């Protein structure tokens, strides 16, 4: 193994001979297989470019139709109602783990610029975080940061299959970044996490097929065996953020059933994948992304299928992340769709704008403690809800005046009712 850049002095503890050999072995056994998977992606895309549509696979219909479940979910991953993510920077890791959330996904992928220094220091930061020894002192104001006694559960998101680690060469070849991220983190932290009542948990991004899930299962099984870890020690959540993967969710869960705990909707990448998949189909153009919400049929169908599939197999169905950077300022407002974004959207859709609810600290706290913010008098949030209610009543009065009464829907059969035994 050759390092193309100087190893930061403080990260020498990560790049030990034993850890380097483990990563080198992963690359030797699995590195070239990625090229075959990437070649398959290119072949499939060429088919899409000629008009073929993604669809469920005939050869795996037995998997979709048969009854099976994934392995039981670890206790500390049973509650994942609120997750946050951010890069593996030292201050970020501390603040994220200290946040009032259930899970922190430490990210080597989308939110991190994969410079060698960032990647190396990221491994050190997670190494220290696992052992609760991580600290940080801001040189600008001498403020010190350290972990609380109780922290969020740590998960590590590795890079996608297509990204290489340019800081390392093995036999003259840059190894896949995902194997480096996975290998160093698992080697150093698996047993420490187990001793602390948790485990090595990962997010796997950018999957496009069950064959790629099978690849990851082979990698994980091999790694567990090499480190003398019981089967199922490594647990993963897969991001479903490509159009081809949507048609293979059952198969992805099946291939990883000893290791997987859930699937996660990756909305923004999914929209990009939709555009890329249908790049030659001029009938499938999309408007500006702020207009493409989860209410749109192709996104709504994708999320509902993910939920249905996961619940059938005993796995978690996770919603995607909202792009929001929390602030210490309790009065600072955040808008998921950008300020006035909903107003602009309602104008484009030619529907009445009732109002928009900003996210701030008081709204979050009210939700956490079960005190409806709308019922708290004389607050800014309650006024927002009051105005929305008034606007809604006003629009209902106009509707009742200008349109005929709503017709009563008559139920002619009970097909689809959950209470009916089939």
Here the CATH number for the domain that contains residue 117 is 3.20.20.360
Task: Say yes or no: 369 and 234 in one domain.
Answer: no
Taken in order 99, 105, 106, 111, the sign of the CA dihedral is negative
Residue 38 resides in a domain = yes
Between these two residues, 116 and 377, which has the higher pLDDT value?
Answer: 116
Task: Say yes or no: 199 and 298 in one domain.
Answer: yes
Domain boundary among 273, 303, 318: 318
Task: Say yes or no: 82 and 189 in one domain.
Answer: yes
The half-sphere exposure of 24 on its side-chain side, counting CA atoms within 13 A, is 15
Q: Taking Cα atoms as reference points, which of 124, 186, 191, 189 lies closest to residue 158?
A: 186
Domain boundary among 285, 318, 351: 318
Residue 412 resides in a domain = no
Residue 334 resides in a domain = no
**How confident is the prediction for the chain on average, in pLDDT?**
90
Are the C-beta atoms of 42 and 208 separated by less than 8 Å?
A: no
pLDDT at 367: 64
pLDDT digits (tens, 9 = 90+) for 67-104: 999 999 999 999 998 899 999 999 999 999 999 899 99
Q: Taking Cα atoms as reference points, which of 313, 311, 202 lies closest to residue 257?
A: 313
Residue 394 neighbours by CB distance under 10 Å = 12
Q: Taking Cα atoms as reference points, which of 202, 192, 191, 201 lies closest to residue 133?
A: 192
Give the β-pairing of 168-169 and 135-137: unpaired
Task: Say yes or no: 114 and 168 in one domain.
Answer: yes
DSSP 104: E
DSSP 282: G
Structure tokens at 317: 């169905």
Neighbour-count burial for 175-185, b at 16+ CB within 10 Å, e otherwise: bbbbbbbbbbb
Kindly state the helix (H) or strand (E) to which residue 75 belongs, with its residue range.
none
Residue 114 resides in a domain = yes
Task: Say yes or no: 347 and 312 in one domain.
Answer: no
Residue 241 DSSP SS3: coil
Task: Say yes or no: 347 and 247 in one domain.
Answer: no
Polymer length in residues for the chain: 422
| Separation between Cα atoms, residue 155 and residue 332, nearest integer Å | 29
Residue 64 resides in a domain = yes
What percent of the chain is predicted at pLDDT more than 70? 91
Count Cβ atoms within 10 A of the Cβ of residue 109 and give its class: 0-12 exposed, 13-18 middle, 19 or more buried. Answer: buried
Q: Taking Cα atoms as reference points, which of 303, 243, 302, 247 lies closest to residue 276?
A: 243
Task: Say yes or no: 277 and 347 in one domain.
Answer: no
Task: Say yes or no: 95 and 154 in one domain.
Answer: yes
Residue 317 DSSP SS3: strand
| Separation between Cα atoms, residue 100 and residue 410, nearest integer Å | 47
Q: Taking Cα atoms as reference points, which of 212, 113, 120, 193 lies closest to residue 155?
A: 193
pLDDT classification of 324: cutoffs 50, 70, 90: low
Q: Taking Cα atoms as reference points, which of 157, 334, 182, 315 lies closest to residue 241?
A: 157
Residue 420 pLDDT exceeds 50: no
Distances (CA, A) of 403 to 232, 339, 388, 397, 400: 60, 32, 22, 10, 6
Task: Say yes or no: 290 and 374 in one domain.
Answer: no
Cα angle, residue 65 at apex, residues 64 and 71 outer, rounded to 5° = 60
Domain count, the chain: 2
Residue 73 DSSP SS3: coil
pLDDT at 310: 97
Residue 374 pLDDT exceeds 90: no
pLDDT classification of 175: cutoffs 50, 70, 90: very high
pLDDT at 418: 53
Instruction: To the nearest 10°, report the CA torsion of 216, 219, 220, 221.
Output: 120
pLDDT digits (tens, 9 = 90+) for 9-24: 999 999 999 999 999 9
> What is the domain extent for residue 355?
341-402
Residue 409 resides in a domain = no
Residue linked to tokens 């139920």: 411
Cα-atom radius of gyration of the chain, to the nearest Å?
24
Are the C-beta atoms of 214 and 258 separated by less than 8 Å?
A: no
Residue 26 pLDDT exceeds 70: yes
Give the largest CA-CA distance in the chain: 79
Q: Taking Cα atoms as reference points, which of 225, 177, 231 lies closest to residue 199?
A: 231
Are the C-beta atoms of 85 and 104 separated by less than 8 Å?
A: yes
pLDDT at 365: 65
The half-sphere exposure of 413 on its side-chain side, counting CA atoms within 13 A, is 2
Residue 383 DSSP SS3: helix
Task: Say yes or no: 245 and 378 in one domain.
Answer: no
Are the C-beta atoms of 104 and 155 separated by less than 8 Å?
A: yes
Task: Say yes or no: 346 and 391 in one domain.
Answer: yes
Task: Say yes or no: 368 and 262 in one domain.
Answer: no
| Separation between Cα atoms, residue 415 and residue 324, nearest integer Å | 41
What percent of the chain is predicted at pLDDT more than 90? 69
Residue 52 resides in a domain = yes
| Separation between Cα atoms, residue 314 and residue 318, nearest integer Å | 13
Residue 327 resides in a domain = no
């Amino acid at each position: 193994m050759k390092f193309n850049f100087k190893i930061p002095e403080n990260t020498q503890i990560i790049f030990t001979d034993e850890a380097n050999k483990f990563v080198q072995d992963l690359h030797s056994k699995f590195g070239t297989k990625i090229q075959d998977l990437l070649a398959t992606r290119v072949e499939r895309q060429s088919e899409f470019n000629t008009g073929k549509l993604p669809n469920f696979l005939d050869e795996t219909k037995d998997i979709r139709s048969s009854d099976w479940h994934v392995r039981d979910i670890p206790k500390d991953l049973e509650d994942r109602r609120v997750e946050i993510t951010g890069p593996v920077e030292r201050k970020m890791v501390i603040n994220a783990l200290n946040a009032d959330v259930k899970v922190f996904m430490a990210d080597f992928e989308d939110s991190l610029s994969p410079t060698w220094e960032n990647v190396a220091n990221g491994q050190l930061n997670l190494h220290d975080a696992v052992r609760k020894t991580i600290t940080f002192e801001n040189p600008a104001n001498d403020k010190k940061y350290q972990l609380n006694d109780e922290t969020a559960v740590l998960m590590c998101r590795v890079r996608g299959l297509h990204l290489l680690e340019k800081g390392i060469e093995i036999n003259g070849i840059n190894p896949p970044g995902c194997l480096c991220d996975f290998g160093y983190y698992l080697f150093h932290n698996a047993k420490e996490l187990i001793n602390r009542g948790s485990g090595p948990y990962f997010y796997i991004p950018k999957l496009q097929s069950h064959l790629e899930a099978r690849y990851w299962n082979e990698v994980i099984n091999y790694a567990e065996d090499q480190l003398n870890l019981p089967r199922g020690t490594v647990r993963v959540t897969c991001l479903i953020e490509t159009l081809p993967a949507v048609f293979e969710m059952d198969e992805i869960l099946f291939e990883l059933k000893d290791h997987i705990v859930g699937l996660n909707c990756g909305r923004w990448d999914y929209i990009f994948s939709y555009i890329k998949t249908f790049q030659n189909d001029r009938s499938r153009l999309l408007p500006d992304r702020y207009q493409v919400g989860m209410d749109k049929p192709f996104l709504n169908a994708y999320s509902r299928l993910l939920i249905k599939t996961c619940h059938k197999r005993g796995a978690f169905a996770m919603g995607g992340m909202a792009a929001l950077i929390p602030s210490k300022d309790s009065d600072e407002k955040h808008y998921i769709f950008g300020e006035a974004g909903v107003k602009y959207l309602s104008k484009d859709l030619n529907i009445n704008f009732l109002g928009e609810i900003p996210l701030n600290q008081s709204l979050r706290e009210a939700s956490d403690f079960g005190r409806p913010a709308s019922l708290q008098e004389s607050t800014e949030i309650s006024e927002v809800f009051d105005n929305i209610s008034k606007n809604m009543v006003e629009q209902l009065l106009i509707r009742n005046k200008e349109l005929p009464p709503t017709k009563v829907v008559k139920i002619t059969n009970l097909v689809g009712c959950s209470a009916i035994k089939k």
